[in-house]
Structure 1
Amino acid sequence: MKHTILLFLLLTPWLHAQTTTDGFALPQPGKVFAFPRDHGSHPDFRTEWWYVTGHLDSKDGHRFGFQVTFFRQARREDGKTLQLHLAHAALLDAKTGRFLHQERLNRSGWDAASSESTLAVQNGNWSLTLDETTQHLHIAATINNEALLQLELEAVKPLAIFGKDGVSRKGASETAASHYLTWPRLKTTGTVKLGAVEHAVTGEAWMDHEFSSSQLEAGQVGWDWAALQLKDGREIMVYRMRRKDGSSDPASTLAVVERDGKLRHLARDAFTWEVLGTWKSPRTGAEYPIRVRLAFEGESLELKPLAPDQEQDGGITQLPYWEGACDVIDSHGQVTGRSFLELAGYAGDLTGHLSPKAK
């Protein structure tokens, strides 16, 4: 009997960390991922996203930045679980600075779905699918009936699993964590139709797949995130979790994917994030730090946006954010890579949207 009580006391904190108060799963250390199943949907978690960003070039001299993102958000209503599907798509024509973007929101069903067995997500006529035979990804999306993306993506680096023991921590709280899977470099080909003109394009993309039941904890208001693809074959992922006083949460981290695909993480005190310039949105009034310098291990890299206005103004969610294509500039002023920068929580505190309590 004593052994039973002792075992219960030892396991109680572990058991409490399994779910949120309303029964959604929390990421657990030691998870063994199985593919293609874990490329698919995880409806026992509250929030999930499949996030593709990239840079494209056409033979006629056009350069594009693009984003196609599928979100799944679960809610409890009257004892039932409601699955909502949100999708964002954006296209920047770097030559003109024109930025197109669109949001969609549908309930799970005919208009939106996400497979639990493989990567196959759909919202209206937007889709992101994995061909298990060729291991190619396919993207199709229209933006405001003004642009059409038809892209095929092929991984040229292995899948990276960010975090420690399969869990990417976003704060000290047991709830502030995710399972974070990434294809850090995807060879991309296809077409971009802008108006009546169709451009054959080639380029590279980055894909994140995260699932969690909370991304923030008390005291955090948002985050800065960047994904860099360098010409020397390395990739860098960095996120800075921002606290209400403007400081960086100790859970902030930088990860380097080496040329051979090996992954290593740096702690918050091993890198610096310096703001070099800002842009104020005429629509939301938010001031975004769109030019930054990232420094680590004696290396200094500047993220310079291809255009200042790359704000998604949150028409459906009322949660505006800045998501932009950037060049990476080294300490000698040379372009040494390309990147995407995301700035969330500058148009309003995100606390309460992504920070439920643990059970």
Structure 2
Amino acid sequence: MKVKALLCAALLLAGCDKAPAPAQSFAGLGNDAADFAQVVPGKVFSFPDDHGPHDGFRIEWWYVTANLKDAQGNVFGVQWTLFRNALKPGPTQAGWHDSTVWLGHAAVTSATRHYAAERLARGGVGQAGAQAVPFNAWIDDWNFASRPGAASALADMQLKAGGAQFAYDLHLTSSRPLVLQGANGYSRKSDLGQASYYYSQPFFNASGSLSIDGKVYQVTGPAWLDREWSSQPLSASQTGWDWFSLHLDSGAQLMLFRVRQQDGAGYLTGTWIDPQGHAETLHNANIQLAPLATTAIEGRNMPTRWSLKIPGKQLDISPEAVNPNAWMNLSIPYWEGPVRFDGGVGYLEMTGY
């Protein structure tokens, strides 16, 4: 669900003064995008091509999170995201005629500290971009790329980013299949037809180095890649979302999100992924999700402990933030950080509060 800051960057580089008004949906993502390519059911995904950019669509992102530990049991979270936003429809052009904006977000979280950084770039001049073969997504010196000699795309990756007070360099590997979210990769975000194309690699194993305030840690743990692209993923009445990706100790994986609406209702859905990688869509009736506790952050009350039940899977857990103050104080602020619960770990993103 990583789209909010991308649109803000597009607005800034296009010379606008402020983000769209709330009536236009969160970060303007409910605005009409009829001139762009539309998300429709029935797409046949093609890999490795779909790992690369999709120029006809308005917005797109490559998003990695990792739940990490060192040998002493210290817990960390890592986030890396690259966003692509087309300022106008049509094919990509060369050089400064390119109308694409790129935005990078990176963060590191521990139990006591949370640092985030942001990079902005204009397309067409090599400062940022993405390609399918060999896979590479980058902005400045932040990079997510296939390692030389990798057997297949996304099987053997290197992930690097850093800011003034943190850095990380991680090796990600997986031999497991990709997971198509929603209905064979068609992920609905409302009952009105808004949707994205969405797939994940939830089975990455990560290892490498991480530094905070000059101290270096050797870390390992599970990681998760999300890939989405769309042109109008929200409706005008939707105000933000709560998104979870969870690694269960059983070997199963769980993705779910709730898109909140102005009338207090929400669109709730998810995907249950068994240890073999088989995916099952979860609908609103299958999921019970409610906040249990909040944390006051920057004048907002953010839900940082939740009750999550999926009776059909005998799941009853209470994910809570490793660090409740994992506030991304960037061009458009939001909450993003690692969570833990009896039986696993994961990540939580909350926008629009």
In structure 2, do the counterparts of structure 1 residues 173 and 275 end up closer, same or farther at CA, with 3 Å as the change threshold?
same
Shift of 1:92: 1.0
Match of 1:225 in 2: 243
Alignment partner for residue 162 of structure 2, among 135, 142, 165?
Answer: 142
In structure 2, do the counterparts of structure 1 residues 84 and 241 end up closer, same or farther at CA, with 3 Å as the change threshold?
same
* Pairing of 1:121-132 with structure 2 (within 5 A): 121-131=137-147
Counterpart of 1:293 in structure 2: which amino acid?
S
Deviates more, 1:51-60 or 1:120-129: 51-60
Contact kept in structure 1, 2:158 and 2:172, CA below 8 Å: yes
- SS of alignment partner, residue 231 of structure 2: strand
Match of 1:99 in 2: 114
Contact kept in structure 2, 1:38 and 1:118, CA below 8 Å: no
2:114 and 2:324 map into 1 onto residues whose CA distance is 10
Alignment partner for residue 269 of structure 2, among 248, 253, 257?
Answer: 253
Q: Does residue 151 in structure 1 map to residue 132 in structure 2?
A: no
1:78 and 1:150 map into 2 onto residues whose CA distance is 36
Counterpart of 2:118 in structure 1: which amino acid?
E
Match of 1:275 in 2: 291
Q: Does residue 73 in structure 1 map to residue 73 in structure 2?
A: no
What TM-score comes out, normalization by structure 2 length? 0.83
Contact kept in structure 1, 2:244 and 2:349, CA below 8 Å: yes
Shift of 1:220: 0.8
2:70 and 2:90 map into 1 onto residues whose CA distance is 51
Shift of 1:153: 0.6
Counterpart of 2:55 in structure 1: which amino acid?
P
Alignment partner for residue 289 of structure 1, among 294, 298, 303?
Answer: 303
2:185 and 2:297 map into 1 onto residues whose CA distance is 37
Contact kept in structure 2, 1:140 and 1:151, CA below 8 Å: yes
Match of 2:9 in 1: none
CA-atom RMSD, angstroms? Answer: 2.0
- SS of alignment partner, residue 263 of structure 2: coil
Contact kept in structure 2, 1:156 and 1:187, CA below 8 Å: no
Contact kept in structure 1, 2:108 and 2:115, CA below 8 Å: yes
Shift of 1:143: 1.8
Shift of 1:156: 4.7
Counterpart of 1:104 in structure 2: which amino acid?
R
Counterpart of 1:92 in structure 2: which amino acid?
T
Contact kept in structure 1, 2:201 and 2:225, CA below 8 Å: yes
- SS of alignment partner, residue 269 of structure 1: helix
Shift of 1:236: 0.5
Shift of 1:196: 3.3
Counterpart of 1:235 in structure 2: which amino acid?
Q
Q: Does residue 345 in structure 1 map to residue 352 in structure 2?
A: yes
Counterpart of 1:345 in structure 2: which amino acid?
G
Match of 1:173 in 2: 192
Counterpart of 2:48 in structure 1: which amino acid?
P
Contact kept in structure 2, 1:224 and 1:342, CA below 8 Å: yes
Segments of structure 1 that go 5 or more residues without pairing to the other structure are: 1-19, 329-334, 347-359
Shift of 1:116: 5.0
Which has more radius of gyration? 1
2:318 and 2:89 map into 1 onto residues whose CA distance is 46
Shift of 1:36: 1.3
Alignment partner for residue 89 of structure 1, among 99, 103, 106?
Answer: 106
Counterpart of 1:344 in structure 2: which amino acid?
T
Contact kept in structure 1, 2:58 and 2:89, CA below 8 Å: no
- SS of alignment partner, residue 50 of structure 2: helix
Deviates more, 1:107-116 or 1:37-46: 107-116
- SS of alignment partner, residue 214 of structure 1: coil
Deviates more, 1:31-40 or 1:192-201: 192-201
Shift of 1:313: 1.7
Contact kept in structure 1, 2:182 and 2:270, CA below 8 Å: no
Q: Does residue 45 in structure 1 map to residue 61 in structure 2?
A: no
2:234 and 2:90 map into 1 onto residues whose CA distance is 26
Match of 1:11 in 2: none
Match of 1:324 in 2: 337
Shift of 1:208: 0.3
Segments of structure 2 that go 5 or more residues without pairing to the other structure are: 1-31, 92-96
Counterpart of 2:278 in structure 1: which amino acid?
K
Counterpart of 1:37 in structure 2: which amino acid?
D
Give CA-to-partner distance per residue, 1:26-52, whole Å, 9 cap, x none: 122222211111111112111111111
Shift of 1:113: 1.4
Deviates more, 1:201-210 or 1:129-138: 129-138
Deviates more, 1:181-190 or 1:294-303: 294-303
Contact kept in structure 1, 2:68 and 2:221, CA below 8 Å: yes
1:196 and 1:104 map into 2 onto residues whose CA distance is 21
1:78 and 1:233 map into 2 onto residues whose CA distance is 43
Deviates more, 1:202-211 or 1:154-163: 154-163
1:83 and 1:46 map into 2 onto residues whose CA distance is 9
In structure 2, do the counterparts of structure 1 residues 246 and 138 end up closer, same or farther at CA, with 3 Å as the change threshold?
same
Q: Does residue 54 in structure 1 map to residue 66 in structure 2?
A: yes
Shift of 1:195: 3.5
Contact kept in structure 2, 1:42 and 1:116, CA below 8 Å: no
Amino-acid identity (%): 33
